[in-house]
Protein backbone atom coordinates (compact mmCIF):
# COMPACT_ATOMS: atom_id res chain seq x y z
CA UNK A 1 0.00 0.00 0.00
CA UNK A 2 1.20 3.51 -0.73
CA UNK A 3 2.12 5.86 2.05
CA UNK A 4 -1.22 7.64 2.30
CA UNK A 5 -3.35 4.87 0.81
CA UNK A 6 -5.03 4.27 4.14
CA UNK A 7 -6.52 7.78 4.30
CA UNK A 8 -9.49 7.16 1.97
CA UNK A 9 -10.20 3.96 3.88
CA UNK A 10 -10.16 5.81 7.20
CA UNK A 11 -12.42 8.53 5.77
CA UNK A 12 -14.88 5.96 4.45
CA UNK A 13 -14.99 4.19 7.81
CA UNK A 14 -15.55 7.49 9.62
CA UNK A 15 -18.32 8.52 7.26
CA UNK A 16 -20.10 5.16 7.05
CA UNK A 17 -22.75 5.69 9.78
CA UNK A 18 -23.66 9.05 8.24
CA UNK A 19 -23.66 7.73 4.74
CA UNK A 20 -26.23 5.05 5.55
CA UNK A 21 -28.25 7.25 7.93
CA UNK A 22 -30.75 8.18 5.21
CA UNK A 23 -31.43 4.57 4.27
CA UNK A 24 -34.65 2.76 5.28
CA UNK A 25 -32.60 0.20 7.16
CA UNK A 26 -30.18 2.71 8.69
CA UNK A 27 -30.23 1.11 12.14
CA UNK A 28 -29.60 -2.31 10.67
CA UNK A 29 -26.71 -1.11 8.53
CA UNK A 30 -25.15 0.86 11.37
CA UNK A 31 -25.38 -2.15 13.64
CA UNK A 32 -23.77 -4.31 10.99
CA UNK A 33 -21.00 -1.73 10.63
CA UNK A 34 -20.27 -2.01 14.34
CA UNK A 35 -20.22 -5.81 14.05
CA UNK A 36 -17.81 -5.61 11.12
CA UNK A 37 -15.45 -3.47 13.18
CA UNK A 38 -15.72 -5.78 16.17
CA UNK A 39 -14.94 -8.81 14.03
CA UNK A 40 -12.04 -6.90 12.49
CA UNK A 41 -10.64 -6.15 15.96
CA UNK A 42 -10.80 -9.82 16.99
CA UNK A 43 -9.25 -11.00 13.75
CA UNK A 44 -6.52 -8.35 13.81
CA UNK A 45 -5.70 -9.35 17.38
CA UNK A 46 -5.55 -13.03 16.40
CA UNK A 47 -3.44 -12.03 13.41
CA UNK A 48 -0.54 -10.91 15.61
CA UNK A 49 0.03 -14.48 16.76
CA UNK A 50 -1.61 -16.47 13.98
CA UNK A 51 -0.61 -14.26 11.06
CA UNK A 52 2.74 -12.69 11.81
CA UNK A 53 4.13 -15.45 14.00
CA UNK A 54 2.32 -18.25 12.16
CA UNK A 55 1.12 -19.95 15.34
CA UNK A 56 -2.41 -20.96 14.40
CA UNK A 57 -4.36 -20.74 17.64
CA UNK A 58 -7.86 -22.18 17.49
CA UNK A 59 -8.39 -21.32 21.13
CA UNK A 60 -8.54 -17.54 21.08
CA UNK A 61 -12.13 -17.76 22.27
CA UNK A 62 -10.71 -18.19 25.76
CA UNK A 63 -9.22 -14.70 25.63
CA UNK A 64 -12.32 -13.28 23.98
CA UNK A 65 -14.41 -14.95 26.66
CA UNK A 66 -12.25 -13.60 29.50
CA UNK A 67 -12.77 -10.14 28.07
CA UNK A 68 -16.51 -10.66 27.65
CA UNK A 69 -17.15 -12.26 31.04
CA UNK A 70 -15.28 -9.91 33.37
CA UNK A 71 -17.24 -6.70 32.64
CA UNK A 72 -20.55 -8.51 33.12
CA UNK A 73 -19.26 -10.36 36.16
CA UNK A 74 -18.33 -7.20 38.05
CA UNK A 75 -21.83 -5.88 37.30
CA UNK A 76 -23.70 -9.04 38.17
CA UNK A 77 -22.03 -9.59 41.52
CA UNK A 78 -21.08 -6.11 42.67
CA UNK A 79 -23.16 -3.77 40.48
CA UNK A 80 -20.00 -2.06 39.31
CA UNK A 81 -19.91 -0.40 35.88
CA UNK A 82 -19.01 -3.08 33.31
CA UNK A 83 -16.27 -0.79 32.09
CA UNK A 84 -14.27 -1.57 35.24
CA UNK A 85 -14.19 -5.22 34.26
CA UNK A 86 -12.37 -4.47 31.02
CA UNK A 87 -8.85 -4.14 32.48
CA UNK A 88 -9.63 -7.13 34.69
CA UNK A 89 -10.48 -9.20 31.63
CA UNK A 90 -7.27 -8.15 29.93
CA UNK A 91 -5.28 -9.04 33.04
CA UNK A 92 -6.93 -12.46 33.25
CA UNK A 93 -6.16 -13.01 29.56
CA UNK A 94 -2.51 -12.17 30.00
CA UNK A 95 -2.19 -14.60 32.90
CA UNK A 96 -3.99 -17.31 30.93
CA UNK A 97 -1.74 -16.56 27.93
CA UNK A 98 1.36 -17.08 30.04
CA UNK A 99 0.06 -20.25 31.63
CA UNK A 100 -1.12 -21.70 28.32
CA UNK A 101 1.80 -20.40 26.27
CA UNK A 102 4.63 -22.03 28.17
CA UNK A 103 3.57 -25.63 27.62
CA UNK A 104 1.82 -25.29 24.25
CA UNK A 105 4.70 -23.50 22.53
CA UNK A 106 6.70 -26.66 22.94
CA UNK A 107 4.38 -28.01 20.27
CA UNK A 108 4.54 -26.90 16.68
CA UNK A 109 2.23 -26.78 13.70
CA UNK A 110 -1.00 -28.75 13.95
CA UNK A 111 -0.14 -30.01 17.41
CA UNK A 112 -0.10 -26.47 18.73
CA UNK A 113 -3.48 -25.78 17.10
CA UNK A 114 -5.00 -28.92 18.59
CA UNK A 115 -3.67 -28.08 22.03
CA UNK A 116 -5.28 -24.64 21.85
CA UNK A 117 -8.63 -26.18 20.87
CA UNK A 118 -8.40 -28.54 23.80
CA UNK A 119 -7.61 -25.83 26.33
CA UNK A 120 -10.33 -23.49 25.03
CA UNK A 121 -12.96 -26.23 25.07
CA UNK A 122 -11.92 -27.14 28.57
CA UNK A 123 -12.39 -23.52 29.63
CA UNK A 124 -15.81 -23.43 27.96
CA UNK A 125 -16.96 -26.57 29.74
CA UNK A 126 -15.65 -25.42 33.12
CA UNK A 127 -17.31 -22.01 32.79
CA UNK A 128 -20.51 -23.66 31.63
CA UNK A 129 -20.70 -25.55 34.90
CA UNK A 130 -19.59 -22.76 37.20
CA UNK A 131 -22.49 -20.98 38.89
CA UNK A 132 -20.39 -17.98 39.88
CA UNK A 133 -19.84 -17.35 36.15
CA UNK A 134 -23.49 -17.92 35.29
CA UNK A 135 -23.00 -21.55 34.25
CA UNK A 136 -24.91 -22.45 31.08
CA UNK A 137 -27.19 -19.42 31.32
CA UNK A 138 -24.47 -16.82 31.17
CA UNK A 139 -24.21 -13.28 32.50
CA UNK A 140 -26.13 -10.09 31.82
CA UNK A 141 -25.21 -6.44 31.96
CA UNK A 142 -27.34 -3.57 33.25
CA UNK A 143 -30.71 -3.41 31.48
CA UNK A 144 -30.79 0.39 31.60
CA UNK A 145 -27.96 2.86 31.73
CA UNK A 146 -27.40 4.21 35.25
CA UNK A 147 -25.01 6.78 33.84
CA UNK A 148 -22.73 7.34 30.88
CA UNK A 149 -20.23 4.97 32.48
CA UNK A 150 -22.46 1.98 31.75
CA UNK A 151 -21.90 2.68 28.06
CA UNK A 152 -25.40 1.72 27.05
CA UNK A 153 -26.72 3.39 23.93
CA UNK A 154 -29.86 2.75 21.98
CA UNK A 155 -28.18 3.41 18.66
CA UNK A 156 -25.28 1.40 17.30
CA UNK A 157 -23.47 4.56 16.22
CA UNK A 158 -21.65 5.29 19.51
CA UNK A 159 -20.48 1.67 19.61
CA UNK A 160 -19.41 2.00 16.02
CA UNK A 161 -17.11 4.89 16.85
CA UNK A 162 -15.77 3.29 20.02
CA UNK A 163 -14.94 0.15 18.02
CA UNK A 164 -13.40 2.25 15.27
CA UNK A 165 -11.14 3.96 17.81
CA UNK A 166 -10.01 0.64 19.26
CA UNK A 167 -9.45 -0.79 15.79
CA UNK A 168 -7.36 2.25 14.85
CA UNK A 169 -5.27 1.80 17.99
CA UNK A 170 -4.80 -1.91 17.31
CA UNK A 171 -3.82 -1.33 13.68
CA UNK A 172 -1.35 1.32 14.81
CA UNK A 173 0.19 -1.15 17.24
CA UNK A 174 0.25 -3.87 14.58
CA UNK A 175 1.89 -1.49 12.13
CA UNK A 176 4.57 -0.63 14.66
CA UNK A 177 5.08 -4.33 15.37
CA UNK A 178 5.42 -5.05 11.65
CA UNK A 179 8.15 -2.46 11.24
CA UNK A 180 10.09 -3.32 14.35
CA UNK A 181 12.47 -6.08 15.29
CA UNK A 182 9.55 -7.90 16.93
CA UNK A 183 7.70 -8.10 13.62
CA UNK A 184 10.72 -9.28 11.67
CA UNK A 185 11.48 -11.89 14.29
CA UNK A 186 7.88 -13.13 14.32
CA UNK A 187 7.85 -13.51 10.57
CA UNK A 188 11.18 -15.33 10.79
CA UNK A 189 9.67 -17.68 13.38
CA UNK A 190 6.79 -18.38 11.04
CA UNK A 191 9.11 -19.03 8.10
CA UNK A 192 11.47 -21.35 9.96
CA UNK A 193 12.15 -21.65 13.65
CA UNK A 194 15.45 -23.41 13.25
CA UNK A 195 16.85 -20.79 10.92
CA UNK A 196 15.47 -18.03 13.13
CA UNK A 197 17.27 -19.48 16.12
CA UNK A 198 20.51 -19.70 14.20
CA UNK A 199 20.27 -15.94 13.65
CA UNK A 200 19.86 -15.25 17.34
CA UNK A 201 16.07 -15.12 17.63
CA UNK A 202 14.92 -16.37 21.06
CA UNK A 203 11.97 -18.15 19.50
CA UNK A 204 9.92 -19.07 22.54
CA UNK A 205 10.26 -15.66 24.13
CA UNK A 206 9.08 -13.92 20.97
CA UNK A 207 6.17 -16.32 20.57
CA UNK A 208 5.15 -15.44 24.10
CA UNK A 209 5.36 -11.71 23.34
CA UNK A 210 3.13 -12.24 20.34
CA UNK A 211 0.68 -14.35 22.32
CA UNK A 212 0.39 -11.79 25.10
CA UNK A 213 -0.15 -8.89 22.73
CA UNK A 214 -2.65 -10.96 20.77
CA UNK A 215 -4.47 -12.19 23.87
CA UNK A 216 -4.70 -8.70 25.35
CA UNK A 217 -6.37 -7.24 22.29
CA UNK A 218 -8.60 -10.29 21.78
CA UNK A 219 -9.80 -9.82 25.31
CA UNK A 220 -10.50 -6.16 24.59
CA UNK A 221 -12.61 -7.29 21.63
CA UNK A 222 -14.53 -9.61 23.94
CA UNK A 223 -15.11 -6.76 26.36
CA UNK A 224 -16.46 -4.52 23.60
CA UNK A 225 -18.77 -7.32 22.53
CA UNK A 226 -20.10 -7.68 26.07
CA UNK A 227 -20.55 -3.93 26.49
CA UNK A 228 -22.55 -3.73 23.30
CA UNK A 229 -24.74 -6.81 23.66
CA UNK A 230 -24.93 -6.77 27.47
CA UNK A 231 -24.99 -10.53 27.52
CA UNK A 232 -22.61 -13.46 27.27
CA UNK A 233 -22.95 -17.21 27.63
CA UNK A 234 -20.46 -20.06 27.13
CA UNK A 235 -21.30 -20.40 23.42
CA UNK A 236 -21.23 -16.76 22.42
CA UNK A 237 -18.17 -15.95 24.52
CA UNK A 238 -16.13 -19.14 24.56
CA UNK A 239 -17.46 -21.34 21.75
CA UNK A 240 -15.11 -22.69 19.14
CA UNK A 241 -16.93 -20.70 16.45
CA UNK A 242 -15.63 -17.53 18.07
CA UNK A 243 -12.07 -18.72 17.45
CA UNK A 244 -12.86 -20.07 14.00
CA UNK A 245 -14.42 -16.78 12.95
CA UNK A 246 -11.22 -14.89 13.79
CA UNK A 247 -9.15 -17.32 11.76
CA UNK A 248 -11.41 -17.30 8.74
CA UNK A 249 -11.68 -13.53 8.65
CA UNK A 250 -7.92 -13.07 8.93
CA UNK A 251 -7.20 -15.78 6.38
CA UNK A 252 -9.80 -14.46 3.95
CA UNK A 253 -8.36 -10.96 3.96
CA UNK A 254 -4.75 -12.05 4.31
CA UNK A 255 -3.15 -13.50 7.42
CA UNK A 256 0.01 -11.69 8.39
CA UNK A 257 -1.00 -8.48 6.64
CA UNK A 258 -2.00 -5.24 8.33
CA UNK A 259 -5.38 -4.68 6.69
CA UNK A 260 -6.27 -8.27 5.81
CA UNK A 261 -8.40 -8.79 8.93
CA UNK A 262 -10.41 -5.62 8.25
CA UNK A 263 -10.96 -6.63 4.63
CA UNK A 264 -11.99 -10.13 5.69
CA UNK A 265 -14.45 -8.77 8.21
CA UNK A 266 -15.96 -6.41 5.63
CA UNK A 267 -16.76 -9.42 3.45
CA UNK A 268 -17.59 -12.19 5.91
CA UNK A 269 -19.76 -10.34 8.43
CA UNK A 270 -22.26 -8.97 5.87
CA UNK A 271 -22.30 -12.39 4.21
CA UNK A 272 -23.11 -14.02 7.53
CA UNK A 273 -25.76 -11.42 8.38
CA UNK A 274 -27.30 -11.86 4.95
CA UNK A 275 -27.58 -15.62 5.21
CA UNK A 276 -29.04 -15.31 8.71
CA UNK A 277 -31.56 -12.64 7.71
CA UNK A 278 -32.74 -14.08 4.43
CA UNK A 279 -33.13 -17.55 5.78
CA UNK A 280 -34.49 -16.61 9.18
CA UNK A 281 -33.71 -18.45 12.37
CA UNK A 282 -33.51 -21.78 10.60
CA UNK A 283 -30.54 -20.47 8.66
CA UNK A 284 -28.26 -20.13 11.67
CA UNK A 285 -26.67 -23.50 10.92
CA UNK A 286 -25.64 -21.98 7.63
CA UNK A 287 -22.83 -20.16 9.41
CA UNK A 288 -20.95 -23.42 9.49
CA UNK A 289 -21.53 -23.98 5.81
CA UNK A 290 -20.40 -20.46 4.94
CA UNK A 291 -17.26 -20.91 7.06
CA UNK A 292 -16.56 -24.26 5.44
CA UNK A 293 -17.03 -22.82 1.98
CA UNK A 294 -14.73 -19.89 2.70
CA UNK A 295 -12.05 -22.20 4.08
CA UNK A 296 -12.17 -24.36 0.96
CA UNK A 297 -12.04 -21.38 -1.38
CA UNK A 298 -9.06 -19.82 0.41
CA UNK A 299 -7.18 -23.07 0.71
CA UNK A 300 -7.76 -24.02 -2.92
CA UNK A 301 -7.28 -20.73 -4.71
CA UNK A 302 -5.49 -18.17 -2.59
CA UNK A 303 -3.82 -19.37 0.62
CA UNK A 304 -2.35 -15.88 1.01
CA UNK A 305 -5.79 -14.28 1.23
CA UNK A 306 -7.42 -11.56 -0.86
CA UNK A 307 -4.79 -8.91 -0.14
CA UNK A 308 -2.19 -11.28 -1.57
CA UNK A 309 -4.26 -11.59 -4.73
CA UNK A 310 -4.47 -7.82 -5.03
CA UNK A 311 -0.79 -7.42 -4.23
CA UNK A 312 0.13 -9.85 -6.97
CA UNK A 313 -2.01 -8.03 -9.52
CA UNK A 314 -0.36 -4.72 -8.65
CA UNK A 315 3.13 -6.21 -8.66
CA UNK A 316 2.48 -7.77 -12.04
CA UNK A 317 1.42 -4.41 -13.40
CA UNK A 318 4.36 -2.56 -11.88
CA UNK A 319 6.94 -5.09 -12.96
CA UNK A 320 6.48 -4.55 -16.68
CA UNK A 321 9.51 -5.24 -18.86
CA UNK A 322 12.22 -2.59 -18.69
CA UNK A 323 11.26 -1.56 -15.23
CA UNK A 324 13.40 -2.97 -12.45
CA UNK A 325 12.02 -2.61 -8.98
CA UNK A 326 14.31 -2.14 -6.03
CA UNK A 327 13.48 -2.29 -2.39
CA UNK A 328 12.40 1.22 -1.55
Partner 1 sequence: MLLSAEKVAKHFGSFRAVAGADLAVEEGEIVGLIGPNGAGKSTFFNCIAGDVAPTSGRVVFDGIDVTGAPAEAHARLGIGRTFQMPATFDDMTILDNVMVGAFLRHPRRGEARDRALEVVEMTGLKEQAGLRAGNLGTPGRKRLEIARVLAAGPRLMLLDEALAGLTPGEIQRAIELLRAIHALGITLVIVEHIMEVILSLTRRVLVFNQGHVIASGKPQDVVNDPAVIEAYLGRGHGGARR
Q: Binding residue for partner 1 (CB under 8 A) from 203, 240, 274, 286?
A: 203
**Site map (CB under 8 A) of partner 1, residues 239-278, x = contact:** -----------------x----------------------
Q: Binding residue for partner 1 (CB under 8 A) from 185, 209, 217, 291?
A: 185
- Please, where are the H alpha helices in the chain? 6-19, 26-47, 61-78, 85-104, 110-128, 157-179, 181-191, 193-198, 203-229, 234-238, 240-253, 260-278, 286-301, 306-318
* 324 part of the interface to partner 1, by CB under 8 A: yes
Are the beta carbons of 218 and 46 closer than 8 angstroms?
yes
**Site map (CB under 8 A) of partner 1, residues 120-159, x = contact:** ----------------------------------------
Are the beta carbons of 39 and 160 closer than 8 angstroms?
no
- At its nearest, how many Å lie between partner 1 and the CB of residue 326? 6
* 201 part of the interface to partner 1, by CB under 8 A: yes
Q: Binding residue for partner 1 (CB under 8 A) from 109, 165, 192, 285?
A: 192
* 187 part of the interface to partner 1, by CB under 8 A: yes
Q: Say how far apart CA 97 and CA 100 lie, in whole Å.
A: 5
* 318 part of the interface to partner 1, by CB under 8 A: no
- Please, where are the H alpha helices in 129-259? 157-179, 181-191, 193-198, 203-229, 234-238, 240-253
* 303 part of the interface to partner 1, by CB under 8 A: no
Question: What angle (nearest 5°) sits at the alpha carbon of residue 48, between those of residues 252 and 304?
Answer: 30
* 327 part of the interface to partner 1, by CB under 8 A: yes
| E-strand stretches of the chain | 139-140, 231-232
Residue number, 187 or 274, with CB nearest to partner 1: 187
Q: Binding residue for partner 1 (CB under 8 A) from 195, 279, 297, 314?
A: 195
- At its nearest, how many Å lie between partner 1 and the CB of residue 205? 9
Q: Say how far apart CA 130 and CA 45 lie, in whole Å.
A: 28
Number of C-beta neighbours around residue 129 at 10 A = 11
Residue ranges binding partner 1 (CB under 8 A):
179-181, 184-185, 187-188, 190-192, 194-203, 256, 324-328
Amino acid sequence: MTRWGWLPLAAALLAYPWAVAGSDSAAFLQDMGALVLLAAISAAAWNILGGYAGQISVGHAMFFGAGAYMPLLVYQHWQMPPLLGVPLGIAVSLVVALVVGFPTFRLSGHYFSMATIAVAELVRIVVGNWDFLGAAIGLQGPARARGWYDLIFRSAVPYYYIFLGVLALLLLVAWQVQRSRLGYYLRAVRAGERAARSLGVPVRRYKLYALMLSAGFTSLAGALYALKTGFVDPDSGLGILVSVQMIIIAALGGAGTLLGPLLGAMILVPLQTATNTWLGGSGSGLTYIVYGGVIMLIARFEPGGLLELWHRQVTARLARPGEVRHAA
